[in-house]
Amino acid sequence: TLLGFILTDLQITPRALKKMLSNATMRSFNCISVDGDMSTNDTITMIANGAVETNKPVDIENAQVFNEVQENVTSFAQQLAQLVVRDGEGSTKFVTVKVLNSLNFNDAKTIAETISNSNLVKTALYGEDANWGRILCAIGYSKLNDIKSLKPEKLNVSFVATDGSEPKELKLLINGVPNLDLDEKRASQILALPDLEILVDLGTGSEKCQFWTCDLSHEYVTINGDYRS
């Protein structure tokens, strides 16, 4: 179960707070996956108590201030959401799945979520196996709203290192064609990192979505085979 609360001493009107939290959740807590299961109790609450004195409360009408606070709340919520993924039961890796250049946001999110929830992708990540075929497979069965979002000949998939080492990006699929010169040694180096990125460029539009997931380990089974008892 995911539970959380965000508290602030800024004064924000109820309607602005509702919009802010909803927007932040869409880009943070609703973009994480440990095991693909949804709880009956998931709740994120936010309270703004106005203890910091301001001339007037933050409201939707004052777009400049509203947008600034909304941006801060969203990046803050992302930090909190990412900690949940880092604690993913039995996990050893934190993985960012980035889908770029999608025809629409919903399909970018669907693809990112499908990759993030694939048990076979997640076990490959745990085993540090550069099994890009499983990523492709997950993209292919994603339940897209618009089939035009995915054109195989425009699809690029890469692993990206996050530790500053070079080459940062290792291309696995280039314009729909597998990279036959794949540097397996470099692939192993990237997959050995505790933090890494899977980059999917759909090349069909300009929308993007990020999801955060983790690997799936033996430990996950151990923890969850004995919870209620």
Smallest separation, CB 152 to another protein (Å): 27
43 catalytic residue (yes or no): no
- Residue 5's region, left for phi above 0, alpha for psi from -120 to 50, else beta, is beta
Which residues from 160-199 bind another protein, rule CB under 8 A? 194
Is 112:211 a contact under the CB 8 Å cutoff? yes
Which of 27, 60, 70, 79 binds another protein (CB under 8 A)? It is 79
- CA distance to 13, 37, 48, 147, per residue, from 157 (Å): 43, 26, 42, 18
Binding to another protein (CB under 8 A) within 41-70 occurs at 41-55, 57, 64-65, 68-69
Q: Which is nearer to another protein, 102 or 217 (CB)?
A: 217
- Determine the Cα–Cα distance for residues 52 and 143; give it in Å rounded to an integer: 46
Q: Is 4 helix (H, G, I), strand (E, B) or coil?
A: strand
Among 27, 61, 73, 166, binds another protein (CB under 8 A): 73
Cβ(194)–Cβ(92) below 8 Å: yes
- Report, in Å, the least distance between residue 176 CB and another protein: 29
Residue among 61, 87, 146, 163 that touches another protein (CB under 8 A): 87
| Residues labelled as active-site residues | 1
